[in-house]
Structure 1
Amino acid sequence: MEKDSKNLPLFFLGDRLEFPPVENANEDGLLAVGGDLSPERLLLAYRNGIFPWFNEDALILWWSPDPRMVLFPEKIKISKSMRKILRSDTFRLTQNTCFEKILEHCAKVPRKGQEGTWITPKMRLAYLDLYEKGFAKSFEVWEGDNLVGGLYGVDLGDVFCGESMFSSKPNASKYAFIKMVQELDQKNYKLIDCQVHTEHLESLGAEEISRKHFIKILMG
């Protein structure tokens, strides 16, 4: 154990497959450093409300923020303009047809206040491995034969952990998100984990809940 810049305990992971209690995270949500991106560790993390997020050429950082941004499927907000798009044949949605391409597009999305991408080559390989094992999904948006938007995440069976989305046409990522939520709602998913607050997600109905509440739902 060492101390981070905010003088809070910081847990350094070794080869052992473990994480400290999420309550040990600092005020920014940083819980642990190090370890690997094996499917076993990633699944253990997501099932315990933890996710990796770090820059290239840096140690793996593991997070469990409080509060947590989530969307309960029944609370999805759809604007009048989006309802019109959903009724039209502007876009069409597919699932798991080009997972690797979705990863590549998401990695290229500029992030405000962030240099480079956290979807590093190692991260791509790790999520591809999860996808091949059936624990990750992608949702793709097409305009004709052109891929114009989409998202991917980790599927825990009744909770979907959204990781990243992209759009090269207006409203394509919103279309992907809304259609995904509607599909998961039909399958009785309890929530979509959105991790941290953004105005974009809030506009779609996502809300912040306490980490304690989130973990209770996740484990329930």
Structure 2
Amino acid sequence: MKLETVIPDFKAQSTQGPISFYNWLGDSWCVLFSHPADFTPVCTTELGRIAVHQHEFAKRNVKLLALSCDKLQDHKNWVADIKSYCLDIPGEFPYPIVADEKRELAVKLDMIDEESKDKESEAMTVRALYIISPDHKLKLSMVYPASTGRNVDEILRVIDSLQLTSRLKVVATPANWTPGTKVMILPHVKDEDLPKLFPKGVEKVKMPSGINYVRTTTDY
């Protein structure tokens, strides 16, 4: 699925009842992620760690929504296992898991690998993760194979980057960026506009090419 694609509205059954995606999302961001199957070890760690960090997503106005092709009752039964394995999940399991037993949503959202997408007997979804903005557009996607679990810290880091650059449209975040460290000013921003945009200062880095394109700031 390409970036800036509008995620279509959909209705589905979940562990927290029926969901109508656009109504459920409201004005929030969303992390919509698929996992290969319930009652599997790596998926248990992933959904557990994401649940443990739910408060961090909530601070960022981000809702969480998991999906696989398992039955709804399997999801509900599996939640008890996840909570037993990840003992630091506070209270009730904090986000819904969508049941997509007929694979319709997984296929529509491009969450099944190319070899399996037309084979109804092979219902396993890949580890696809989509970050969706409040206007329903896909802002970032991560697709992992079944053998590799995802990193929750990286998910939170890219959300911070997306929300920052959405708010302040003249910067981008560099490699290994974390909140509070330097951001890069986009090349189209004119030098004469820098004092107004970044009153606390800008650092310009001289490059052998002589082109003045590396400008950084922590004023955001």
Tell me the TM-score normalised to structure 1 length: 0.23
TM-score normalized by the length of structure 2? 0.23
Q: Which has the higher strand share?
A: 1
Larger Rg: 2
